[in-house]
Every structure is written in C-alpha cells, then in structure tokens.
Amino acid sequence: MSQIPELTAIILTKNEAEHIQACIESLHWADRIVVFDSHSQDQTVSLAREMGVEVLLNPFENYAQQRNDALAAVQTDWVFFVDADERGTPELAAEVREVIANRPEMGWYVPRHNYIFGRLTRGAGWYPDYQLRLFRHGRVRYERPVHEVAVVDGEIGYLQNPLIHHNYRDLAQFHAKQRAYTNYDASILKAQGIRPRPHNFVLQPLRQFWWRFVTLKGYVDGWHGLRLSLYMAYYEWVKYRKLAWFWRKR
C-alpha cells in the first residue's frame, strides 16, 4: 500500500490578527500548518502560536521572494498556499486529498468564492478566479515581485471546489488596494516604454467596463456588479493618468 502524501498548508501573513485564527481553523485537515510571517506588529504571531501551529518569521522583500523562502523552509510532499483572509472547506479538503494521492499533475489551480463588501460576487472577473496554489514540493518556483507568477515543472490541473475568500471588507480597503495596483501597473507600462495616448483615457476605461460588466458577466450581480465594473473602469483611467505622470516626471 502506497504511503499517504504529506500536505503542508502555508499561510503568508503580515498583520493578519483579524483573520489568522479562523484561517487556521479551516485548515486542520492538512498534516501540517505553517504561518510564514513577515514580522507582524499586531497579535498575528501570538494568536497563531495559541492555535498550536508552527510560526516562522521572514523579512519581506517582495511576494515572489516570500513564497520562495517559504518553500525553502519546509520539507513536505505537497504545499498548499493560503492567504489569511481565505478559508478552506470540507469539500475542498476531500478533493485536495484525492488529487495529491491519485493524480499525476504537479500543480493545481483552485477556484475562489470572493466575498466583496460581504457579498458573494459571481461576475465581473471574481469567479472562478483560479489561483495556482497547490504544488508538489520541489516542482514550483515563483517569479515577478508583485502579482507573482508560479512556474510549475509538470502538468497543471483545475480543482472544482473553491476556497472562500473574504476580499475587500469595505470601500476604503477596496480603493486603497486599487490605488496601489494602479501604481504598480503604470510602472510596468512605463518600464516597457509605453506612452499614454489621448484616446487611452477614454477607450481603455470603456473597454474595461465592457469586459467586466458584459464579457465577464458582472450583470449577474445586479447593482453590485455594475458598481464594481464602474470602479474598475475608473481605475483603468487612473492607471493611464499615473503613466502620464511618470513620463512627465522623467
């Protein structure tokens, strides 16, 4: 009889006291849980230790580095990366155990149910929202500092059961994160030598809205989906405004 693969769930944290205990509780089906913390200044570490899980501290440089350092810090058969504001479910647990025991793939995408402002969001690009999170240890590395990309040595599959993601608890958090994303995305365009054209300030937001609301079916969420699609169109305009500012600053 073949040995059951060991599964380690790794939670990357930085000031996640609000979420960490519920996240750990939802992952007790893993053989081992590691909280990989970048020196939180709240109660994240003490709360995690109270739950009886292993805590490792690592200085944060960028997202890819943090995930690669976490991979290097554990010895296991399989790794499942989970964010502190995500929750596992019994259905997902059963599916994960099934695929790591019986399937040849080296990595697996996991869908997410995103709760935005407390509401399950099924359109506008927030479902199925596949995230590449489950890997055979030693067969993955991460590249790109922000919006990191997992490079898997081997075939990749898609799970059916979702993680629960408590995404954007309120408007303030949503707008703060979108402003940060536009800074990063505009800097990437600048590094690629792309200059904003007058039509970008009109056509790109319109395309973003159409893509979110129509192509990605934001309309299935009614007013909630319309509002999110409009917000994302606005931040497309903000991205090009920042890109123009970067070029003027040069």
Q: Which domains does the chain have, with CATH numbers?
A: 7-167 (3.90.550.10), 171-249 (no CATH)
Q: How far apart are alpha carbons 124 and 217 in whole angstroms?
A: 6
**150-164 residue pLDDT tens:** 999 999 999 999 999
Q: What is the mean pLDDT of the chain?
A: 95
Vertex 5, ends 25 and 131: CA angle to 5°? 60
pLDDT at 155: 97
pLDDT at 250: 66
pLDDT at 1: 42
pLDDT at 249: 85
- The torsion defined by the Cα of 107, 99, 6 and 112, in degrees rounded to 10, comes to 60
User: Which class for 222: exposed (0-12), middle (13-18), buried (19 or more C-beta within 10 A)?
Assistant: exposed
Question: In terms of Cα–Cα distance, which of 146, 241, 125 is closest to 186?
Answer: 241
Averaged pLDDT for residues 118-127: 96
Hey, what amino acid is at 146? V
Averaged pLDDT for residues 4-26: 97
Q: How far apart are alpha carbons 177 and 185 in whole angstroms?
A: 12
Q: Report the chain's terminal Cα–Cα distance, integer Å.
A: 65
**64-110 residue pLDDT tens:** 999 999 999 999 999 999 999 999 999 999 999 999 999 999 999 99
Bridge partners (DSSP) of residue 107 are: 135, 156
pLDDT at 147: 74
Instruction: Show the tokens assigned to 178.
Output: 């979108």
Instruction: Show the tokens assigned to 70.
Output: 């976490």
DSSP assignment string, 192-209: TT----TTHHHHHHHHHH
3-class SS at 35?
strand
Residue 4 gets which letter from DSSP? P
User: Which stretches of 41-127 are assigned E, i.e. beta strand?
Assistant: 54-57, 78-83, 86-87, 107-110, 112-116, 119-120
Instruction: Show the tokens assigned to 91.
Output: 């259905």
pLDDT band at 148 (very low <50, low <70, confident <90, very high): confident
DSSP assignment string, 31-77: SEEEEEES--SSSHHHHHHHTT-EEEE---S-HHHHHHHHHHH---S
Q: How far apart are alpha carbons 212 and 208 in whole angstroms?
A: 6
**200-213 residue pLDDT tens:** 999 999 999 999 99
DSSP H helix total and E strand total for the chain:
7, 13
Instruction: Show the tokens assigned to 147.
Output: 């919006």
Averaged pLDDT for residues 18-25: 97
3-class SS at 241?
helix
